[in-house]
A and B are shown apart, each in its own frame.
Chain A
Amino acid sequence: MNDPILLYVEDNLDDRVLFDHACREGNARFRLLTVEDGQQAVDYLAGASRYADRSQFPIPDGVLLDIKMPILDGFDVLRWIRGEGGLSKLPVFVYTSSYQHADIQRAYAGKATAFLTKPSEFRALIRLASALYECFSSVEIKVDPLTALPQYKRPQVDDF
């Protein structure tokens, strides 16, 4: 089975580096592709200009999408995916340091697959990467991937 392709949309270099390391330590064997802002994400998914070569820039199996980004933010990208992009089945994990209720609502309203809060502790990041990988390695993603996660792994991960 080919490694699942995960497109990580993240403008913060540290987060990109640490997620990459966490995947390695957590044995989450994604083929990890990264773009650095919302516009690049749309370009990539649309196969525009420099991402036209699909052998080099294949359609991902899932998107890990930061919200707070310059130019186009995560919600813009989500809207494009579910709208113009026509990628209604593409799993999109909104991934942010926010646990504001408004953001969570907005993410699910935009048909995000799940809303994930960035862990502040590296060990938690490793567990998150592992769990995410588990989702993709299952035969099919029928269940809300969030339910696969321990809902109260940390008390600060809440949703009011």
Chain B
Amino acid sequence: MLCCVVEQELYELLEAVNRAGSLKAVYESAMDFIRSALKCDKVAILLFDEAGVMRFVASRELSEKYRSGVEGHSPWRVGAEHAEPIWIPDTELEGLEAHIAESVKAERIRALGFIPLQVGGFVIGKFMVYFGAPHEFTARERRLTEGIAIQLALAIQRWQMAEELRRGKEQYRIMIEQVKDYAIFSTDTAGRPIVWNEGVQRILGFSETEFVGREVTPIIFTPEDFAAGIPQKEFDNAARTGSASNNRWMRRKDGTRFWAEGVTTALRDEGARLIGFSKVFKDSTASWQSAEDLKASQRELTALKDRLAADLSAMTRLQNLAALAVRPGVDFRSLLGEVLDAAIAITAADKGNVQMLDPVTGGLRIAAHRGFGPAFLEFFEHVCEQAASCGAAMRSRERILIEDITKSRVFQGTPSLQMLLNENVRAVQSTPLVDRTGKVLGMISTHFGRFHRPSENELRFLDILARQAADWLERSHADQAVRHAKEQLATANQELDRKVQERTSSLNATLQSLETLLYSIAHDLRAPNRAMQGYAHLLIESHANGLNDKAKFFLHRIAEAALKNEAMIRDLLEYGRLAHAELHCAPLDPALNIHAVLQGFELEIAEKGARVKVSGQWPKVSANDSALTHVLANLVSNALKYVPPGVRPQIEIFPASVNGSTHESNGWVRLCIRDNGIGVPAEQKESIFDLFQRASNASAQGTGMGLAIVRKAAERMGGQAGVDSTLGKGSTFWVALKKASS
């Protein structure tokens, strides 16, 4: 019975709570119900706030003082489970905490009950019932309060959840609407916008009516993307995988483009059925631009780094080349090869060649090459300067750059073009090597397998290289000229030597035959002399009786003339022979030669009553035996001959050392013949040794060749001849000869 009554009453509560239009109305109707059902004086509902503090949310008949005095007091902690109501029938009999007891007394409360509000077994709050007089809580009251607690807790929870949902939806709406940096919209499966936000207007420039429900895909995608089917691919991709990247160039309403960054997501209902797509993206043009700028500056940096590296490499090459060029004995051909390698490296070419000016033909000839086939080399060996870049550069004396040989007038319609194309050449540069006077010495050409123009920097290095190479070339030419001149000189010298030898040997042959002729003539000349002399003698000696004195005198004159003639022939032959015949010298004792000579003059010495004295110690000399004898004989003959009339010749033959004390003079000795003859005038001391030169005071006896023979013989033996003389007081003729080395 009791049970039914309670449930009946609770049903009233349930209806009242359900009718409530707000949480506050729930509290009010719940308190009304509790006061009428329990007949209590006061009632209150308290809930844990977010901080876990039990706070009054509604009350009846409670003073503000009491509420603030006991607020926060709770028999259960937040989150406590399976709490039981607490009943206090008489506060006077209960040991309440002092400040609680005081508040309770002041509020004239004698009995009260704590009934927990629980959801899912957890305490979320409580409601309180108060009585002004002690009160025993009946079983019915207890059961009723439990039922109220359950209904009230559920109602509170429902309202709290509804409130949260409402607040959350509102927040979400505000959030979406207020996101302005992102364009956010959802579409149906065909891509027509259904929901949009402010961002769409801000980024794309559309108003709601222009956008929602319209076919915007052809407008917001770029024409090229649209034509390429990119929108459909994006949707398909999102449908397949859930989402797809929306990073691409898109268009605004006014047609301008921006870089979009975002994502396209497939929308599905609870049954996983595709219901549309959402697109979220922002305008990242600025950051894209700065990323692009960054990339560009990175590219620039890389290019700069590459360029610096290339410059460094080029400079290193040039430096190495310069070092190589000044190395002594470097072969110019190999140097040219190095120059070419450097040119190819500097211009980043694929092949190349160096040509040099042929001084004979005036044309260019390939002196070094890299990467060309024999057909090309053969061809350009002959026709280079006719029609090619090198020929053009040669004529202009300036560099020729051809970025595309098929379009260059230099090559158009020439066989060179096909040659170059066969070699896969597409571009070429030719830089002339010009000497300091402006004359072209050669050409450096490099060839590219691509349409290409070397950079200014590369060309600058190429210019330096060309300058260096031209200098080396010039120097090499100068060296060659010097070498050539030297060779010519050597050849000329050899030729001269050969000619001299030829002439000498032919001269010797001529002399030989001349000598033979001379002897032959001499032989023939002497026979008549002998005859004249002989017959004259016979007439005088054997037939003197028939001749008067005058006739005898004439015959004497004939005989004398014949003898003189004979002597002249003899001396002439002698002089000629001494002048060129080889004289073999050997160590001789001059004393022996002197002795023999004096023997020969025995008769003449006796006839003239001459006195001859040989004195001193004779060292051995280096001489030719018969030449020395001849010299001594001539000198003795002269000493006997050239004396004043009536004077007896006095002759002394002695050795003398050569004047001077030097080591060299010690090696010589003079053979001296001193006479008491007529002497030699001082100014004629040299001339008397010449052919046919007599001293002015000498009679015309002799041939006039005696002293010339003496000097010639002395000289041919490596010695000298001379005279010391005082006019009228005699002379000392001498022959200086080398002492024989012992």
- Whether, in the assembled complex, B626 has its beta carbon less than 8 Å from a beta carbon of chain A, the answer is yes
The answer on a CB contact under 8 Å between B625 and A160 is yes
Taking A12-B527, A120-B566, A121-B563 as known contacts, 18 extra A-B pairs with beta carbons closer than 8 A to each other, sorted by chain A number, are A14-B528, A14-B535, A18-B530, A18-B531, A18-B538, A21-B534, A25-B541, A97-B526, A97-B527, A120-B530, A121-B533, A122-B559, A152-B600, A152-B629, A155-B630, A155-B637, A159-B626, A160-B630
CB distance from B161 to the nearest CB of A (A): 161
B529: Cβ under 8 A from any A Cβ: yes
B549 shortest CB reach to chain A, Å:
20
Contact A15 B527 (CB under 8 A): yes
In A101-127, which residues have CB < 8 Å from any B CB? Answer: 118-123, 125
B534 touches A125 (CB 8 A): yes
Question: Which of A21, A22, A153 is in CB contact (< 8 Å) with B600?
Answer: A153
| Residue contact B527 to A152, C-beta cutoff 8 Å | no
Indicate the size class of the contact surface on chain A.
Answer: 20 to 34
- What residues of A have a CB within 8 angstroms of the CB of B498 in the complex? none
Q: Which of A56-102 contact B (CB under 8 A)?
A: 68, 96-98, 100
Q: Separation in Å of the A110 CB from the closest CB of chain B?
A: 19
Chain A residues lying within 8 Å of B370, measured Cβ to Cβ, are none
Q: Which residues of B contact A151 (CB under 8 A)?
A: 596
CB pair A155–B597 under 8 Å, yes or no, is yes
Distance between Cα atoms of A18 and B528 in the complex (Å): 12
Cβ B599 vs Cβ A122 within 8 A:
no
Given A155-B630, A156-B570: A150 in contact with B599 (beta carbons within 8 A): yes
The residues of A that contact B528 with a CB separation of less than 8 Å are 14
Interface on chain A toward B: helix, strand, loop, or mixed SS? Answer: loop
A43 within 8 A of B: no
A160→B574 CA distance, assembly (Å): 10
Which of B530, B541, B629, B630 has its CB near the most chain A CB atoms (within 10 A)?
B530
Cβ-based interface call for A154 (8 A): yes
B523 A152 Cβ-Cβ under 8 A: no
- Interface size class, chain B: 35 or more
Option from B519, B559, B627 in Cβ contact (under 8 Å) with A160: B627
Considering the chains assembled together, what is the distance between the CA atoms of A101 and B526 in angstroms?
A: 17
A97-B530, A118-B530, A151-B596 known; A123 vs B537 contact (CB < 8 Å): yes
Interface residues of B in 512-552 (CB under 8 A from A): 519, 522-523, 526-531, 533-535, 537-538, 541-542
For residue A117, give the distance in angstroms from its CB to the closest CB of chain B: 10
Say yes or no: is B633 at the interface (Cβ < 8 Å to chain A): yes
* B676 at the A interface (CB under 8 A): no
How close is A17's CB to chain B, nearest CB, in angstroms?
Answer: 8
Question: Quick one: given A15-B530, A25-B541, A123-B537, are A158 and B523 in contact (CB under 8 Å)?
Answer: no
Task: Given A98-B519, A160-B627, verify A118-B526 contact (CB < 8 Å).
Answer: yes
- Enumerate B596-636 residues with CB–CB distance to A below 8 Å: 596-597, 599-601, 624-627, 629-630, 633-634
State A68–B519 Cα separation when bound (angstroms): 11
Q: Across the interface, do B538 and A21 meet the contact criterion of CB distance under 8 Å? A: yes
A14 neighbours in B (Cβ, 8 Å): 527-528, 530-531, 534-535
For this complex, 7 residue pairs linking A to B, each with C-beta atoms less than 8 Å apart, are A12-B527, A14-B535, A15-B531, A120-B533, A122-B533, A125-B530, A158-B630
**Complex CA distance for A158 and B600, rounded to whole angstroms:** 11
- Chain B contacts of A123 at CB under 8 A? 537
A residues sitting closer than 8 Å to B (CB atoms) are 12, 14-15, 18, 21-22, 25, 68, 96-98, 100, 118-123, 125, 150-156, 158-160
The 10 A-B residue pairs with the shortest CB-CB distance in the complex, in nearest-first order: A160-B626, A152-B600, A14-B531, A122-B537, A155-B633, A18-B534, A120-B566, A122-B534, A97-B526, A97-B523
Residues of A close to B633: CB separation below 8 A:
155
Given contacts A18-B535, A98-B519, A120-B566, contact A155 B526 (CB under 8 A): no
A57 to chain B: closest CB distance in Å?
Answer: 27
In the assembled complex, the CB of A155 is this many whole angstroms from the nearest CB of chain B, namely 4
Give the chain A neighbours of B563 by CB distance below 8 A.
Answer: 120-121
| Separation of A150 and B597 alpha carbons in the complex (Å) | 11
Q: Which residues of A contact B527 (CB under 8 A)?
A: 12, 14-15, 97
Closest residue on chain B to residue A152 by CB atoms: B600
Given A97-B527, A159-B626, A160-B627: A154 and B534 within 8 A (CB)?
A: no
Compute how far the CA of A20 lies from the CA of B559 in the bound complex, rounded to whole angstroms.
19
Closest to A151 in B: B596
Q: Judge whether B626 and A158 touch: CB under 8 Å.
A: yes
Of A12, A100, A150, A153, the residue contacting B519 (CB under 8 A) is A100
Name the B residues within 8 Å of A96 (CB-CB).
523
Q: A98, B531: Cβ atoms under 8 Å?
A: no
CB contacts under 8 Å to A, within B624-652, are 624-627, 629-630, 633-634, 637
Instruction: Looking at the assembled complex, report how far the CB atom of B360 sits from the nearest CB atom of chain A, in whole angstroms.
Output: 59
B511 CB to closest chain A CB (Å) equals 14
- Distance in angstroms between the alpha carbons of A119 and B597 in the assembled complex: 18
CB of B529 within 8 A of CB of A120, answer: yes
A97 to chain B, nearest CB (A): 5
Bound form: Cα–Cα A150–B601 in Å = 12
Tell me the smallest distance from the CB of B715 to a CB of chain A, in Å: 16
- The chain A residue with its CB closest to the CB of B538 is A21
- Chain B residues positioned under 8 Å from A12 (CB to CB): 527
**B window 714-734: CB within 8 A of A:** none
Residues of A within 8 A of B530 (CB): 14-15, 18, 97, 118-120, 122, 125
Docked CA distance A116–B592 (Å): 23
Chain A residues, CB < 8 A from B537: 122-123
Shortest beta-carbon distance, A12 to chain B, in Å?
6
User: In the docked arrangement, what's the CA distance between A25 and B533, Å?
Assistant: 15
Interface centre among A119, A121, A151 (most CB of B within 10 A): A121
CA distance A100 to B519 in the complex (A): 8
- Closest residue on chain A to residue B569 by CB atoms: A120
Bound-state CA distance A22–B528 (Å) is 17
Residues of B within 8 A of A152 (CB): 596-597, 599-600, 629
